Amino acid sequence: MDSATTVHRVDRIAESRLPALRHHVALQAEDGETVTYGALAARIERASAALRVAGLRPGDRMLLVAENCVSMIVVLLAAIRCRAWAVPVNARLSPGEIDAIRAHCRPRLSYFSSDASADAQAHARHAGAQPQALDGAGAMCLSAVDGAADPETVEDDPAGEVAVMLYTSGSSGTPKGVMLTHRNLMYIAEVSARLGAQREDDAVYLALPISHSYGLTSVLLCGLQSGATLYPVARFAAEGLAEAIAGGLTVFQGVPAMYARMLDWHRQSGRALTPNRLRLAYIGGSMIDAAKKEAAESLLGLRLHHGYGLTEAAPSVTRTLGGAAPNGLSVGRPLPGIEVSVRRPEGAPVPDSGEGELWVRGPNVMKGYYRDPKQTALAVDAEGWLHTGDLARVGAQGELYIVGRIKELIIRGGFNVYPAEVEAAIGRNGDVAQCAVVGRSTDGDEEVVAFIEPVPGRSIDTDALKQSLRAQLAPYKIPSRIVCMDKLPASGNGKLLKASIKSLAQQL
């Protein structure tokens, strides 16, 4: 598919393989419920009709406070069928965070997956939403219509029509509504399916929250486009993943934190995960630690694929799919139809193998940030290039490497310190589950601070760790302080919240 190809609608994705897959299982719920592709299409149609009766109009925003479950998938696609903007958020967010998102997007209706999530039920009580059954979706809580919420203009072309709006804080710490069109989402879903991310005969573990772009596009939409069977789970548990692998799982996509928890489970239980039927294991969502990646590969018995993306790119930019999984940490090559360029601060291209900011252009780039033209103009220039804020370099074979984030760069004594390099060195310690390195402002300088989450049941000898780092890093890169925490601040999908961690550093 390229920019000239007909754009398919997200809400019709479940019908793209009908009638051949009408009796094939699309969703296998945690409670044992199975939903075929034919039944899913019918439920989406009935739910969309019920939402129209409830007052949802084209251009309205519909807030979905939920964890992964069948009803969330049905309601999300039904809201889009109404030509409204689906705004999925993780039920594990705090009431204040959800209130801020609600105030910004002004939803006409709000849905809460109260039957599948205690947190969603609590948010429903907070919002005054009432329990009810929605035809096609089942029991839930639904808010009263907000009559003051005005609809946005609806585009005639699905290439420009917003289907989903995802809220992301990025490195700024301030949530922004990323407007993703049917074209953005379907481009990634269709290209990923063509590259073999998922197939019709796959059993796919859907543990990544659908409220995040990785889980929404790379797992859910790609899975439906491929005709795979998806196993949505509300919350990731390493033991649950192990049982799924033993039960015939063929595809797992997760973030580094999920793989770290899987390794912890293996250490504690002593149970093996081979032999298995896994065809593809994929790691993404944040920087990858080489030692942890190798340990996961050994446990699963196959190499991990990975890539690079961000919510503003719906979310994929590069992937290692299409060939053998790599030995190293390259994030692969751009997906077909997507351009990348490594640029200097003033915008000039960086010479071969040089480091600079990664720019991205293609059908996957967002429409913009909702109600924020200033930030949109800073992120996407007049020529359509998305300025990612990530530092990258291109290898000799055209493969891409991510070095770190521009805003996370630490300047210590006039020297540049890339947190990713220090994190990789710390991660080689077997007692470290996760780590995050940030800069802390001091008098006219910055110091390097490392926050570490030990493997459960282990402790970190910080003096010994510093000593080991001296053999790997220049003196100015060695953390001045190492702080151990039981759990590092993370989002609902396990991605470390660098803005929150940096705030903790400033309080030291």
Report the pLDDT value the prediction gives residue 1, as an integer from 0 to 100.
46
Q: What percent of the chain has pLDDT over 70?
A: 97
The H-or-E segment that residue 145 falls in is: none
Number of separate helices (H) and strands (E) present in the chain: 14, 26
Which residue is associated with the tokens 């290039």?
Answer: 385
Q: What are phi and psi of 354, to 5 degrees?
A: -80, 160
| Higher-pLDDT residue of 443, 132 | 132
In the predicted structure, residue 495 carries a pLDDT above the cut 90:
no
Confidence at residue 444, expressed as pLDDT on a 0 to 100 scale: 74
| pLDDT band, residue 168 (cuts 50/70/90) | confident
Tokens (6 digits) for 320: 């290692």
Q: Higher confidence at residue 291 or residue 308?
A: 308
- Measure the CA–CA gap between 321 and 306, rounded to whole angstroms: 8
Average pLDDT across the chain, whole number: 92
Higher pLDDT, 110 or 430: 110
Q: Give per-residue burial for 74-108: e unless 16+ CB within 10 Å, then b.
A: bbbbbbbbbbbbbbbbbbbbeeeebeebbebbbbb
- Domains of the chain in start order, with CATH, are 38-181 (3.40.50.980), 409-506 (3.30.300.30)
Q: What is the mean pLDDT of the segment spanning 231-243?
A: 96
Q: Give the integer Cα–Cα distance in Å for 319 and 341.
A: 16
Q: Confidence class of residue 3 from pLDDT cuts 50, 70 and 90?
A: very low
Q: Are 505 and 448 in contact (CB under 8 A)?
A: no
The pLDDT value recorded for residue 169 is 63
Compute the distance between CA of residue 76 and CA of residue 210 in angstroms, rounded to an integer.
Answer: 10
pLDDT, mean of residues 61-81? 98
- Residue 9's CB: how many other CB atoms inside 10 A? 19
Q: pTM value?
A: 0.88
Q: Residues 442-471: what's their mean pLDDT?
A: 91
Q: What pLDDT is stored for residue 180 in this prediction? A: 98
**Are the beta carbons of 224 and 230 closer than 8 angstroms?**
yes
Calculate what percentage of the chain has a pLDDT beyond 90: 77
Instruction: Compute the average pLDDT of residues 353-357.
Output: 91
Cα 102 to its chain centre, rounded Å, is: 21
Least confident of 28-37, 39-48, 161-170: 161-170
Statement: residue 315 has pLDDT above 90: yes
Mean pLDDT of 187-214: 96
Between 130-144, 181-195, 275-289, 489-503, the lowest mean confidence (pLDDT) is in 489-503
Q: What pLDDT is recorded for position 2?
A: 46
- pLDDT computed for residue 31 by the predictor: 93
Task: Point out the least confidently predicted range of 101-105, 303-307, 352-356, 452-456.
Answer: 352-356
* Residue 174, token pair as written in the block: 């301030």
The answer to whether residue 170 scores a pLDDT higher than 70 is no
User: Is 178 a residue whose pLDDT tops 60?
Assistant: yes
**What's residue 171's pLDDT?**
45
Terminal alpha carbon distance of the chain: 51
- Single out the residue of 337, 339, 5, 375 nearest to residue 158, CA to CA: 5
